[in-house]
Structure 1
Amino acid sequence: MDLSAILKPEAVKVFSAASSKKRLFQEIGDVAHSAYGLSASDTVEALLERESLGPTGVGHGVALPHARLEEIDKVVGAFVMLEKPIDFGAVDRQPVDIAFALFAPNDAGVDHLKALALVSRTLREPALCAKLRANLDPGTLYALLTESQSVQAA
């Protein structure tokens, strides 16, 4: 599995600002709707429900919100870059400016975990995160994310 299997180019967006975690989730819901046809409100509700179990901010300005949805049949993702970081309740208390949301079917099982591990490994690379933060063009961001995977796989 690589990122191009779960992330469409049109699911990569840059936002100048989100005032809160909830507002970020609403932006992600809109991206999931436009890229995958998912219900924006169901997506936001599922993200908020998962987040209530514990924050998905993994540190170093990165968050990996994720949720299970009835309406999909495979794992899909949305990548959002924020020009202005927000408080996310991350484990290291650093504000978040990179969010990679994953959505999985209710019965995804190991596929959901594999996708989450893949995204986590990818965004744990400081050099990649620096490149992402230096580029605010969605096409370039998509290329960086998917190129990173093919280089690591080689």
Structure 2
Amino acid sequence: MNIGDLLAPERVCCLPDVSSKKRALEMLGEMLSSHLPRLTQGEIFDSLLARERLGSTGLGHGVAIPHGRLAGADEACAALLKLGKGVDYDAPDSEPVDILFALVVPTECTDEHLQILALLARMFSDPETLARLRSAKGPEDLLDLVHHWDTESPDSP
């Protein structure tokens, strides 16, 4: 699987200033709703927020993977948000989060959901990949980097 295939240019964004975790999740909900016509931004946001209430999706090292399963999703869909300044995210290492990769999958896609999350965790645990993502000049660079990691990384399947 190529993680980049879950993204589209309109669902990759660089924002210099987002005030909070809640606002970042709202932005991700907006980005994802553009590809999920049967779901509203509010439904997606509520799903991401409900998952956060179970425990933070912050991985550490400034990365979070908010995710949810929704009946109105026909396929797995993702959005990538890079912030200029990190937000408090209740991450296990207490570092602010500046890279958020949101994932929505259909309710019945439990195995696929877990496989994607495992792949994302592996990708975001690589310090070199994180450095490249943080130095990316814009959304196109971010999308290229995600595609490149998936196809060129010795750790990718």
Q: Which amino acid aligns with 1:11?
A: R
Cα deviation, 1:84-127, whole Å, max 9, x if unaligned, reads 11000000000000000110111111000011111111111111
1:114 counterpart residue number: 115
2:78 counterpart residue number: 77
Gaps of 5+ in 1: none
Equivalent residue pairs, number: 154
Establish whether residue 123 from structure 1 lines up as the match of residue 124 from structure 2. yes
TM-score scaled by length of structure 1: 0.95
Establish whether residue 101 from structure 1 lines up as the match of residue 94 from structure 2. no
Cα deviation, 1:8-59, whole Å, max 9, x if unaligned, reads 2221111111111111111101111224434100010001101000001010
CA RMSD of aligned residues (A): 1.3
What percentage of aligned pairs have identical amino acids? Answer: 38
Matched ranges for 1:23-38 at <5 A: 23-37=23-37, 38=39
Q: CA deviation at 1:5?
A: 2.6
Using the TM superposition, name which of 13-22 and 27-36 deviates more.
Answer: 27-36
Distance 2:33 2:14 in 1: 16
2:68 counterpart residue number: 67
Establish whether residue 5 from structure 1 lines up as the match of residue 35 from structure 2. no
Distance 1:109 1:147 in 2: 26
TM-score scaled by length of structure 2: 0.93
Q: Helix, strand or coil: the match of 2:54?
A: coil
Distance 2:78 2:137 in 1: 18
Gaps of 5+ in 2: none
Q: Helix, strand or coil: the match of 2:32?
A: helix
Q: CA deviation at 1:74?
A: 1.5
Establish whether residue 46 from structure 1 lines up as the match of residue 47 from structure 2. yes
Distance 1:117 1:135 in 2: 23
Q: Helix, strand or coil: the match of 2:11?
A: strand
Moved over 3 A (4+): 35-38
Q: Which amino acid aligns with 2:54?
A: L
